Amino acid sequence: MLFFCPEESAKTAGEGAKKIAEFKQANGGVTPTKTVFDDADVLSSFSDAGIEVFSKIAASAENIELLQKHNAAGNTCLILAPDGEVLGSFAGPECTAQAVRTFLTDDFARRWRNWKDR
């Protein structure tokens, strides 16, 4: 799973309450932008689906080639097969906790089986 996110979100997404508190303290009380990976149910859904590799990639100038390769911007979640085939894609306003959870519980297993069968 790849998550392309704004640089500020890369510091806290999926890292838990302690990292969020540290971010707020270092940034004058400003709360970081919330992501789908700050939702415990999303993290449980990934675990239940057997997806354990999670990579956050900051949407920055250093990563422009990777962003372009995956046609991604900040707040894009891609669920990939081991060969890089995209099994699920959520970008921008469609990258919500509900959309990701629904995919993982309703569609992922079928897409994973289809990929393995090919």
> For the chain, how long is the longest CA-to-CA vector?
52
Query: Are 33 and 8 within 8 A, CB to CB?
Result: yes
Reading across the β-sheet that carries 55-58, which strands appear in turn? 55-58, 2-5, 76-80, 86-91
Instruction: Please tell me the pTM assigned to this model.
Output: 0.86
Place of tokens 């675990």: 47
Q: What residue ranges in the chain does DSSP mark as E strands?
A: 2-5, 55-58, 76-80, 86-91
Which structural domain, as residue segments, surrounds residue 14?
Answer: 2-117
For the chain, what is the domain count? 1
pLDDT, one tens digit for every residue, the chain (118 residues): 999 998 888 889 988 889 999 999 999 999 888 899 888 899 999 999 999 888 999 988 999 999 999 988 889 999 999 999 999 999 999 999 999 999 999 999 999 999 999 8
